[in-house]
Amino acid sequence: MDERTAIAVTAVRAVESADRARAVWTESDRTWASRAAAEVVGASASDEAFIGRRAMLALERLRERKDRVARLASAWRWRPWVGVATVLAAFAIGLMSDALGAPRINILYSPVAPLVAWNLAVYAILAAHFVMRYGERGTPGPITGALTWLAGGARKAAGRRDDGAAAEFARRWASAASPVYAARAARVLHFAAAALALGVVAGLYLRGLGLEYRATWESTFLTPEAVHTFVAIFYAAGAYLTGLPVPDAAHVAAIRAPASENAATWLHLMAATLAALVIVPRIVFALATTLLERFRSGHLLADLGDAYFQRLLRGYRAGTLRVVVVPYSFTVQPAVIVTLQSLLARGLGGEVAATLGASVAYGDEDDAVIESVPGALVVALFNAAATPEREAHGRFVAKLAQSGREIAIVVDESSVNARFGEDRVRNEARRDAWRELAAAAGLAPVFVDLAHPDVAAAEAAFEAALASP
């Protein structure tokens, strides 16, 4: 998934995950986005294509409504001109680096010397960083840290505005995009370093056309022999590249200030040294990080296996989802099925058609006849007032599992709440018993008061329970 699509998916996901009350992004909006995307991409499209198109359509509608998350998504998108401007600015700085000085080149301390030293130090740091972190999953670098800091600021600002969607977007996008931004920053900085060195070379040669640069040196501590050793080492790469020999110690001693000479030979050595030690290596690094950036930006959000994406894809692939509700040892009112169907539609995504199967009496687990609906989700509906028994309730779940169909366990707490109220201690103790029973079948139960459902909580519970169908 490319970066433009990934940021749209992350933004829309943040809105849909945070807006449980459907205050900003209604159920009809969600349904429209899914249907419109399915119509655009067609039935044979990949999961990634459907998810991406749906997000782009939804984000466009959110942008029309001036939603804050849509604005944040636009603000966090990379502007290529920023990289171009940075590189051009670096070139301009290099071009002007010697403009204000006299036309004299100090062979010990020209604009070239600190530039080469700085770049060699950068190479050493990069090499040490690579060796120290080789084979590790990695710890957050400065780019990741900066993004985390920005995301934290966005979350705090969102918290002050009571905007959980913005905070969710900032957290998720900072986590997903930090590897891309790290590679991008490295690419821009490598190109900028090469441009800075190229600007220095261009400035020296351009001004050398109209001015005579004079080469000299002076030092409080160094002897001519020491200076010759230094320049021989420092300009070795340039000498090898150009074939020009570095002047000997006697020549170096002869140009000690106030003496000087025409600096053409030294300019050629400096330019070639910059090319060999800065410009070419930095361009190579930049091209490598460009490939890395493109790979990472093209593979954002590659894993579509979590509950959110599976819910969207279930509606896209399956169309109307058939659900068979099988109550165990209690009578269910028809209105309950309507409520349960609505909750399932929110939790599963897409359209849901639920039917009520025959209630299974206590002790009749082995003789239960489950309505045969191909591909249907089977919901085992229990009354929370009952004490879960492995030999009865557990046996019933095992009977359903033998069908090989997807199963969900729903525990209706309406009768318990009506009798005892919302007693947290009592309810949690009962829930633990149901969780233990469900865990034996590898399932997670959904607890809901079907008479007075907490819609947002039920939606989240169904998402979690059916995250891995």
pLDDT tens column, 429-464: 888 888 888 888 888 888 888 888 887 777 777 777
Q: What sign results for the dihedral spanned by CA atoms 381, 387, 388, 393?
A: negative
Q: What is the predicted pLDDT for the residue at 315?
A: 75
Residues 175 and 162 in one domain: yes
pLDDT, residue 469, reads 46
Q: Could you tell me the residue range of the domain that residue 354 belongs to?
A: 308-465
Whether the Cβ atoms of residue 150 and residue 138 lie closer than 8 Å to each other? no
Residues 33 and 110 in one domain: no
Instruction: Provide the token pair at 271.
Output: 């330019």
Instruction: Indicate whether 206 and 332 sit together in one domain.
Output: no
Total number of domains in the chain: 3
Q: Is residue 303 part of a domain?
A: no
Domain boundary at 77, 104, 123, which?
77
Interval 148-176: pLDDT, tens: 555 555 555 555 454 688 888 988 998 88
The Cα 85–Cα 395 span in angstroms is: 69
The gap from C-alpha 56 to its chain's centroid, in whole angstroms, comes to 17
Average pLDDT, integer, range 90-102:
78
Element (H, E) at 348: helix 334-348
Q: Which residues pair with 215 in a beta bridge?
A: 105, 261
Given a cut of 90, whether residue 26 has pLDDT beyond it is: no
Does residue 256 share a domain with residue 217? yes
* Mean pLDDT, range 383-405, rounded to an integer: 82
Inside any domain, residue 211: yes
Q: Count CB-CB contacts under 10 A for residue 288.
A: 14
36 part of a folded domain = yes
The span from the CA of 362 to the CA of 330, in Å, is 9
Residues 290, 337 within the same domain: no
Task: Tell me the backbone φ, ψ of residue 214, rounded to 5 degrees.
Answer: -115, 130
pLDDT-derived band at 372 (thresholds 50, 70, 90) equals: low
Given the structure tokens 């790979």, which residue do they identify?
295
Q: How many CA atoms lie within 13 A of 315 on its CB side?
A: 26
Q: Quick check: 331 and 359 in contact, CB under 8 A?
A: yes
Place of tokens 């320049």: 231
Query: Is the CB of residue 389 less than 8 Å from the CB of residue 362?
Result: no
Over residues 322-340, the pLDDT tens digits come to 888 888 888 887 778 888 8
| 229 and 94 in a common domain | yes
Q: Are residues 292 and 211 in the same domain?
A: yes
Domain end, chosen from 77, 108, 134, is at 77
Final residue belonging to a domain, choices 298, 326, 342: 298
Domain-located, residue 109: yes
Instruction: Specify whether 101 is located in the same domain as 232.
Output: yes
CATH number of domain containing 372: 3.40.50
| 90 and 141 inside one domain | yes
* 71 pLDDT higher than 50: yes
User: What is the pLDDT at residue 148?
Assistant: 54
Side-chain-facing half-sphere of 277: CA atoms under 13 Å? 27
CB 400 within 8 A of CB 326: yes
State whether 318 and 372 are in the same domain.
yes
The answer to whether residues 407 and 283 belong to one domain is no
Q: Is 363 among the domain residues?
A: yes
Of 67-81, 134-148, 256-270, 452-466, the one with minimum mean pLDDT is 134-148
In a domain, 435, yes or no: yes
Contacts 24+ apart (CB under 8 A), 336-341: 336/412, 336/450, 339/450, 339/453, 340/379, 340/381, 340/410, 340/450
Q: Are residues 71 and 85 in the same domain?
A: no
Compute CA distances 285 → 115, 185, 193, whole Å. 17, 12, 11
Query: What is the C-alpha end-to-end distance of the chain, expressed in Å?
Result: 24
Whether pLDDT at 269 is above 80: yes
